[in-house]
A and B are shown apart, each in its own frame.
Chain A
Amino acid sequence: MKTRTIKVDYLARVEGEGALYVKARGDHVEDVKLKIFEPPRFFEAFLRGRDFREAPDITARICGICPIAYQMGAVHAMESICNVMIDPRIRLLRRLIYCGEWIESHVLHIYMLHLPDFLGYPDAIQMAKDHPEAVQRALRMKKIGNGIMTLLGGREIHPINVRVGGFYKTPTRRELSSLTDDLKWGLEAAIVTVKLVSTLNFQNFEQDYEFVCLRHPDEYPLNEGSLVSNKGIDCPISQYDANLIEEHVAHSTALQTTVKGRGSAHLGPMARYSLNYDQLTPLAKNAAVNAGLEKTCRNPFKSIIVRAVEVVFAFEEALRIIKEYDQPPCPAVDVKPRAGTGYGCTEAPRGICYHRYTIDDAGIIRDAKIVSPTAVNQKTIEGDLRYFIEPNLHLPDEKLKWECEQAIRNYYPCISCSAHFLKLNIERA
């Protein structure tokens, strides 16, 4: 029997460069490879020998789409090594800036990268010709998310105001309140967004994933929590390496992760939502119910609805923080280095992002390990594709290609995290 190959040589609307290679024989898929060709940038190597206070600025440069995730992972790890207590008001501001990143990144993904697939456009700009209102709404929501980042961080990409111990400068109450009206508008717009995406046509496709995410006793997870899964993981983040194992595969510059003794891990909005449903804010929960979403979501195509629900959460949470805010007397606590190893694990928009550092008495970094969410999800995406393609092999190449791309974009793979994305290459009979 002849084999059929389908290739997507350069995957669009993902952050980074990647390619997909699929080999099918008859109606059976033999091989699926998600190829990542982001040139390696060696962050873990050159962090060695740097001062521990430099980690948040340096690691931010791993990814321009989720710099806060890297900055937060780094500051939390360093603070745990140096054993400092953070003012609860600083903790809230960190949560707030993270809400900004979630809003910006999720809205970008929902409207500009994912929705065009559902509606059959190559991009948001073409889509804007027929759906100007939706695209304008998206741009305004995104801008509000970026506004939080800019006010708190100095700028939206690679914020300059985050440091080990806190911030360089904290905003006044009045400065923060200036965001309130926009955030209220954004909250309404987010609810409209959930409604809009819940009416899309979804592939009937569910998988029995192992969802891995953070869980916090009092809140929907952003910066802190323990590591949990629906198949038995429940441990402090310091046990990450004992549960999630990394290996280097030849077809990728990213390292691939599996759950020890089991299969791939699924990180991101669906994992968070399904394991923290009870912690959602009231309007977010309401929006999920109205959208017909169950308490667990296993259809990756519906991740667009879950993301929209998380945008409602982020706006609601941001409004709550701003209302409660009271400016701390010091923008940061003084952090004296001490030798040790520490961990940071936070919920980047596309899933947990793990950091581990060892520093010496002088505060010099001796070892660093950073695992981006995309590196972990890569194996899950390959698994999805394998199951997804088989029943769809009758489709002509072009159509199948687009559908595969969409299946990949379900995860908003952010390949620059470690690497760059998609070529689809389907070999078939």
Chain B
Amino acid sequence: MRAPKKPKLAVWKFASCDGCQLSLLDCEDELLAVAGAIDIAYFPEASRAMVKGPYDLSLVEGSITTPHDAERIHQIRRQSKFLVTIGACATSGGIQALRNFKNVREFTSLVYASPEFISTLDKSTPISGHIKVDFELHGCPISKEQLLEVISAYLNGRKPNTPSHALCIECKRAGIVCVMVAHGTPCLGPVTHAGCGVICPQYDRGCYGCFGPKETPNAHSLAASLAGAGWSKDEIMRVFRTYNAEAPAFRKASTSHED
């Protein structure tokens, strides 16, 4: 009897640091099992064998920043049955979306002596601004556990279990001492999407929002409490303008603190 055909996985890269796709290779204990359950058909970071599409599951890393990439993402959508964005770049435009608040020509000439060689768009945009996305993973970088959850949910035909509440709730449930209450350390936990496993507070650091805004965050009230703690307008603007600056809730919070 022939074994049933394994579903095909593809991993795609746009503007990014490669960190999110590296998370898959960082699943040292699970990698070979994953490769046993799903056919890693296209993953140029790891293999020179590139099997043609269509693909059952596509993981997309990175944001759209060039005219060519804006086209390429449509081809990928056409070849993919189920498409998941992995990480802040793909899901909300990433750190490179800081250009969206500036004049990109100025940026180009600051970095490159011959800016005419550089082909780039004015804005860095998330994948969902271009095509239909079936599922989004947050984080800069994503959590390995959540990545494995998405793959295994896909293989088992169920919805991935990735909570959409605030990091703050995850933190309290884990019984971690609140850094705001205990040390007065400012923390974006109340507005940040859960999923990282509450890393920063366990290292006596406030969350800086690398998982982006949770659903319906009250960024306004957090900004008010930061102001109450003595933060300047500029500091508040910057804290919302990092790895998820283009996510609507954070964009709103940062622009309302612009001078």
Contact = CB atoms under 8 A, between A and B. Distances in A.
B116 to A, nearest CB: 9
Interface in B10-69: 13-20, 22-23, 25-26, 28-29, 31-32, 35, 40, 43-50, 65-66, 69
A168 B203 contact: yes
Given A61-B17, A125-B40, A248-B112, A156 B26 contact: yes
B28 A13 contact: no
A155 interface: yes
Contacts of A116: 48
A12 interface: yes
A250 B114 contact: yes
Contacts of B3: none
A12 B199 contact: no
Contacts of A143: 28-29
Contacts of A63: 17-19
Nearest to B49: A122
B200 A112 contact: no
Give the 3 A-B residue pairs with the shortest CB-CB distance, closest first: A64-B19, A123-B47, A122-B49
A316 B110 CA distance: 43
Q: Which of A10, A64, A123, A125 has the most CB of B within 10 A?
A: A64
A255 interface: yes
B181 interface: no
Contact of B238 (A50, A125, A140): A50
A157 B95 contact: no
B204 A248 contact: no
A54 B238 contact: yes
Nearest to B19: A64
Interface stretch (B96-104, B125-133, B150-158, B249-257): B96-104
B17 A64 contact: yes
Contacts of B19: 61, 63-65, 67, 157-158
Contacts of A44: 110-111
A13 B46 contact: yes
Interface in B181-201: 196, 199-200
B120 A39 contact: yes
A143 B203 CA distance: 21
A79 interface: no
Nearest to A140: B28
Contacts of B40: 123, 125
B50 A45 contact: no
Contact of A64 (B15, B48, B118, B141): B141
Contacts of B31: 125, 139
Contacts of A122: 47-49
A48 B99 CA distance: 12
A283 interface: no
B82 interface: no
Interface in A122-141: 122-126, 128, 135-136, 139-140
B243 interface: yes
20 contacts: A12-B46, A13-B46, A16-B13, A40-B108, A42-B111, A43-B95, A46-B98, A46-B99, A58-B95, A62-B17, A122-B48, A123-B43, A125-B47, A154-B199, A155-B141, A157-B26, A160-B203, A247-B113, A253-B118, A416-B18
Q: Which of A11, A16, A135 has the most CB of B within 10 A?
A: A16
A158 B111 CA distance: 23
A61 B87 CA distance: 12
B50 A160 contact: no
Contact of B49 (A123, A139, A156, A331): A123
B32 A160 contact: no
Interface string A42-83: 111110101100100110011111010000000000000000
B210 interface: yes
Q: Which of B17, B43, B96, B102 has the most CB of A within 10 A?
A: B17
A180 interface: no
B208 interface: yes
Interface string A361-388: 0000000000000000000000000000
Interface of B: 13-20, 22-23, 25-26, 28-29, 31-32, 35, 40, 43-50, 65-66, 69, 94-96, 98-99, 102, 104, 106-108, 110-114, 117-118, 120, 140-141, 196, 199-200, 202-205, 208, 210, 235, 238, 242-243
B18 A42 contact: no
Contacts of A253: 112, 117-118
Given A10-B44, A123-B49, A46 B203 contact: no
Given A157-B141, A248-B112, A64 B22 contact: yes
Contacts of A247: 113
Contact of A42 (B107, B199, B242): B107
Nearest to B35: A125
Contact of A65 (B22, B69, B205, B235): B22
Interface in A100-135: 108, 112-113, 116, 122-126, 128, 135
A51 B46 CA distance: 36
Contacts of B117: 248-250, 253
B48 A123 contact: yes
A420 B114 contact: no
Contact of A157 (B23, B102, B200): B23
A235 to B, nearest CB: 24
A155 B197 CA distance: 10
Contacts of B15: 38-39, 41
A146 interface: yes
A417 to B, nearest CB: 9
B111 A13 contact: no
Contacts of B200: 154, 160, 168
A347 interface: no
Interface string A16-30: 110000000000000
A61 B95 contact: yes
A169 interface: yes
Interface string A241-272: 00000011110010100000000000000000
Contacts of A331: 204
Contacts of A135: 32
Nearest to A117: B48
Contact of A15 (B18, B98, B141, B210): B18
A350 interface: no
